[in-house]
Amino acid sequence: MYDPVLIGSAGAILLEIGKPGRAGEADALLTTLTAAGVPIAGRMEAPATADGGDVFWLDERTVLVGRGYRTNNAGIAEIRRLLPFADVIAFDLPHMRGRGEVLHLMSLVSPLGDDLVVAFMPLLPVRLVELFEQRGVEMVSVPADEFESMGANVLALAPRVGLGLARNTETRRRLESAGVTMQVYEGTELSKGNGGPTCLTRPLLRD
């Protein structure tokens, strides 16, 4: 649900997902978005590609984008065009296991407030770490043995209120020590593949 759409202040931007087998997912959400009263603010067209999992709002004027195998330079340019008021900052993602793996920016980091993120530090781009440091954003580190189990994939329900997978017990402990109220779910069926709570949802409003 997260990948086909980016939500901005003017409404939904329909994205062009980078994986060919997922083409058309944005169109499939049109009826649901319209029924929810969400205006369509723009649409991305090939050859531009961008997955929602590579894009998130750090604050009301800053959008962070991961440049990888699913989000290309043309897609980043389109995001900048469709969000002219925002400061869109792009970072290269690691190759890791290559094109066949789903490695999004939000596989590495999730925002839990304007001043806090949870992140797998070893794979974060250096410039992104420096940006967080410059802006006073606290980084809660995901332990190495919880990276593959989606430890960095935590859904912000409100500032410093998160939803994560119950199996990532150390990540949860670290977040709660940082003042985050955590809710968890088992995910034995919903999240038994490479996905966490963020992947399954698309928040429609930033309050």
- Taking a C-beta distance cutoff of 8 angstroms, is the pair 140, 146 a contact? no
Q: Whole-prediction pTM value?
A: 0.93
Spatial CA neighbour of 198 closest among 110, 80, 85: 110
Spatial CA neighbour of 3 closest among 20, 98, 78, 22: 22
Strand partners, 95: none
Q: Over the stretch 144-173, which tens digit does the pLDDT of each residue have? A: 999 999 999 999 999 999 999 999 999 999
Distance CA 84, CA 119 (A): 28
Is the confidence at residue 89, as pLDDT, over 90? yes
Contacts 24+ apart (CB under 8 A), 18-27: 18/49, 18/50, 18/51, 18/69, 18/70, 18/71, 18/72, 18/75, 19/51, 19/70
Q: Over the stretch 106-139, which tens digit does the pLDDT of each residue have? A: 999 999 999 999 999 999 999 999 999 999 999 9
Most distant pair of Cα atoms in the chain: their distance: 44
Mean pLDDT calculated for residue range 70-78: 97
Q: Over the stretch 37-60, which tens digit does the pLDDT of each residue have? A: 999 999 999 999 999 999 999 999
Q: What is the pLDDT of residue 194?
A: 72
